[in-house]
Amino acid sequence: MKQLLNKGWFQVILLGVIIGGVLIFLDSKLNWFGTKKPKVFHGAVDANTDEIYFTSAAFSETRFDFGKVKEGDTIKHVFVIKNTGEEPLFIFKAQGSCDCVVAQYSGAPIAAGAEEDLTVFFDTKGRKGHQQKTVTISTNTEPSETVLTLTGEVE
C-alpha cells in the first residue's frame, strides 16, 4: 500500500475522490450547484415557499346549522377569521359549492392578531329538503384551504 501511495497518479486520483466527496457533502448543505428544487406552495396562487409569507388562521367556527327555513329565504351567516400568525393573512378566494352560495369579504390583508368578517349567503330558492353547502377559503396558510359548511332544512 505504501508503494501505491508514493505513485503520483494514485495521489491525484485519491485527492480527486476526497475533493469530490467534500463538494458533494457541502452541496447537500449549501446547494452550490442548484440541484435542490424549491418547495412549492400549491394554493390559489402557486409560489415558492421562500417567496411567500405563511401565517396561521383560526375561524370562529367552520360549521353552521341554520335549522329550518322556508324556501326562497336567503340565509346570512358571519364567520370570523383571525390571523393568529405573525405575517399578513391574505384570502386569495372564497368559492361556494354552487351558485346559490356566495361569500363576501373585504379583500384587504388581515394584519397579525386582527380579525375579519367573512359573510356567507345561501339562496334557498328551488332548494327543498336537507341542505349541506360549503365555501372553500384559500389563504396563505398551511394547509392552504379551509372548508366552511352550512347545513339545515329547507321547507
pLDDT tens for 120-154 read 999 999 999 999 999 999 999 988 899 999 999 99
pTM of the entire predicted model: 0.67
Q: How far apart, in whole angstroms, are the C-alpha atoms of residue 120 and residue 13?
A: 70
Q: How far apart, in whole angstroms, are the C-alpha atoms of residue 79 and residue 139?
A: 15
- Give the CB-side neighbour count of residue 128, counting CA atoms within 13 A: 1
| The pLDDT of residue 84 | 96
Percent of the chain with pLDDT over 70: 85
| The pLDDT of residue 36 | 63
**50-154 belongs to CATH 2.60.40.10:** yes
| The pLDDT of residue 20 | 86
Cell of 147: 372548508
Tell me the pLDDT tens digit for each residue of 107-129: 888 999 999 999 999 999 999 99
Q: Where are the domains positioned within the chain?
A: 2-36, 50-154
Q: Which residues pair with 150 in a beta bridge?
A: 64, 133
Tell me the pLDDT tens digit for each residue of 59-96: 999 999 999 999 999 999 999 999 999 989 999 999 99
Is the link from the previous residue into 143 a cis peptide, with omega within 30 of 0? yes
| The pLDDT of residue 4 | 72
